[in-house]
A and B are shown apart, each in its own frame.
Chain A
């Protein structure tokens, strides 16, 4: 079974400071990993994904994420936070092998960027 853990319900960061939103995953084999963002009363928007290769992946709006296989983590990062980054962030995983279609989401982390 595949699962994702987001240990922080909320992360507060000052505007202009770097931000990190944490995620760890569990799969039987190798993962595809994703980050999504959700603004109030909106659907989930895809930010970035890890498939294979370079452990640092870059995505939309200046976000990046670092894959660490030994720690089974996929933390979302941004060098300089904007107030407009305030939203709910979801990490997600799909097991690579077996043709699985289900994507499992974490419980979400609310990011609050303080002006």
Chain B
């Protein structure tokens, strides 16, 4: 069964360092997302991406964050200068469309620890 894959599974970084989280969405999906979850609690929307551009973003997704689809398969989230409060589990998701529900399929997550 097709799945969303994420790397790395866990990354530890120093405050102020740049981090890139990588995702390979399901191949025929057109919409891509990043969410984050702090301490196993609420799942917070960061950004959605369609047709090679950001379509929606939350107030969390400030200038320190960026997303890119550098080739036909990868979808990356970059945090330019990490803060302690960026420590969280980051989930990539993809969907085939938005009609007929357009349910999201999630990866297993990348745990980011900022020291």
Q: A residues engaging B (CB < 8 A)?
A: 32, 34, 36, 40, 42-46, 49-51, 88, 90, 94, 99-108
Indicate if B45 sits at the interface (CB-CB under 8 A): yes
Residues of B within 8 A of A (CB): 4, 31, 33, 35, 40-45, 48, 50, 55-56, 58, 91, 93, 95, 98, 100-109
Question: CB distance B107 to A101 under 8 Å?
Answer: no
B residues in contact with A103, CB < 8 Å: 33, 45, 104
Chain A residues with Cβ under 8 A from B106's Cβ? 36, 43-45
**Contacts between the two chains (Cβ within 8 Å), count:** 65
Q: Smallest CB-CB separation from A101: which chain B residue?
A: B48
B41 to chain A, nearest CB (A): 7
Contact A108 B42 (CB under 8 A): yes
Complex Cα–Cα for A19 and B102 (A): 27
The 4 closest A-B pairs by CB, nearest first: A43-B106, A105-B43, A101-B48, A49-B101
Q: How far is the CA of A43 from the CA of B93 in the complex (A)?
A: 10
Give every chain B residue within 8 A of A46 (Cβ-Cβ).
Answer: 103-105
Chain A residues with CB under 8 Å of B105's CB are 46
Taking a contact as CB atoms under 8 Å apart, the answer to whether B56 and A102 are in contact is yes
Closest residue of chain B to A51, judged by CB? B101
Task: Say yes or no: B41 contacts A100, CB within 8 Å.
Answer: no
